[in-house]
Amino acid sequence: MRIQAILSLLSSTHYVQNYFNDTLNVLDHLGSISPYHRARHHHASEIVSELPIDCTVDQVMLMHRHGSRGPIGEQRYIERLVQTLHDATDVIQNVELPHELEFLRTGYNFSLAPHNLTILGRKELFDHGVEFALKYPHLTTDIILSSDSSRVVESARWFALGFFGLDPDVRIVTVNNKDDPVSWITPAPGPACPKFNYSFGQKATRTWSKHYLPVITDRLNMLLPGVGFTEDDIHGALFACAYDLASLDASPWCGVFRPDELVNFEYERDILMDASCAYMLPDNMGPLVGTVFVNKLIERFTDSQGDSRPLYLEFGHDVTILLALSALGLAKDDPPLSPDELRLGRKFRTSELTPFAANMVWEKFTCTSSYDGPQIRLILNDATMPLTICGQGMDPTLGTCSLDTFVNANHYSTSIRFRDETWNATCGV
């Protein structure tokens, strides 16, 4: 297995390296643990970003992921790496180090607190609050909804500081999956869907890791004979690259890896999330759970309950956004991604969809002459995401569609109700 993995990855290296037209941008290849950056495209470079001058945004619904944070489960890999380097101090001091590993001579330490927002994470949310206020000066609210996770609540506070300024007249209301078991805010449906389990993503990740980590491990052990890197150590170094960036905006580890190695790490992060909360979940579970968000969006934009607000500011997790996208059939690959095969041209790229501080902005707008009736647009991480679910009803220039077309196109979501027969059969309630 090890020899086959090495040969397979080496044979594709030239192809992968040709995938890059310019110098590698690391932020584009760290998946959902990348610090925030504007999405460069969603396979829609021809989309015009500005609405016609006669159009006005009347209603906005924001779902914002928390900002850059410290590691959670990845912490143990980084700690293992630091211990391996510490144990090999004498070896490192007496071996000729290649340029990209010279930093090891003075030692490498990692002290980022797990779970917590970093300084960069706070700045991401403050900046987004300011930008949001400048973009929608005519819209306001007196309530913010947040997951009860501390890093999400703090993210909401920093955004509010940027949007409202000091001492804002706004309440932050928190929810969890016990108060609201099918919330569009909480990171997982919990008791509402017992079969929903992140283990599906973890299993896919372990499978792909066996394909690419041995190659990197062997390469670095050749550069540093006597250190004895394990595959877990290499995983730790890749995570250190991402979390150093999330904390310090720089990392010596990022320069250690080749473009093809970062591409393979990125794919690992993508299939982790695809198999945890999107299209690779069994029995269409991801789209099913995501219908909660879509139905809430439709309820608000159509004002079906008669109590819609002009502005919704809500803060959650990457899972929240990915579940919604899967219910909408957006960023969907056909055939589905596989943990045994690298798919370079895939649509499901979490570095674009859900980096730290990802923001999914839904706009309802009306125009005096350009369009008849209310229209809907999705802006994901500062780039328009075409509403392909609308089919021929999508405007090819703006990537938008009429609200009526959008509602009709989402017949799957509107046909699902919490704990109806379909829900119970899929979720095992």
Judged by DSSP in three states, 402 sits in: strand
| DSSP-based three-state secondary structure for 295 | helix
What b/e readout covers 400-417, taking b as 16+ CB neighbours within 10 angstroms?
bbbbebbbebbebbeebe
Collapsing DSSP to helix, strand or coil, 35 comes out as coil
Query: Which residues share a beta bridge with 56?
Result: 366
Contacts of 109 (CB under 8 A, 6+ apart): 82
Angle (deg, nearest 10), helices 231-248 and 75-87 = 110
| Annotated active-site residue in 66, 128, 211, 317 | 66
Contacts of 423 (CB under 8 A, 6+ apart): 193, 288, 416, 417, 429
Q: Rounded distance, CA 422 to CA 419, Å?
A: 8
Give the C-alpha separation, 351 to 387, whole Å.
Answer: 20
- Spatial contact of 63 and 324, defined as CB atoms under 8 Å apart: yes
Q: How far apart are CA 266 and CA 253, in angstroms?
A: 15
130 token code pair: 């300011």
Which one, of 307, 327, 379, lies nearest residue 184 by Cα? 327
Assigned token pair, 263: 């591409």
Nearest to 407 by CA among 300, 277, 278: 300
28 annotated active-site: no
Is 318 considered catalytic here?
A: yes
Q: What's the start-to-end Cα distance of the chain, in Å? A: 40
Catalytic residue, chosen from 28, 233, 260, 318, is 318
Alpha helices by DSSP H, 224-344: 231-248, 259-277, 285-302, 318-328
- Taking the mean position of all CA atoms in its chain, how far away is CA 277? 11
Helix (H) or strand (E) holding 279, with range, is none
Are the CB atoms for 70 and 116 separated by under 8 Å?
yes
**Alpha carbons 316 and 185: distance in angstroms, whole number:** 5
Q: How far is CA 129 from CA 5, 154, 172, 357, in A?
A: 46, 13, 15, 11
Active site residues: 66, 318
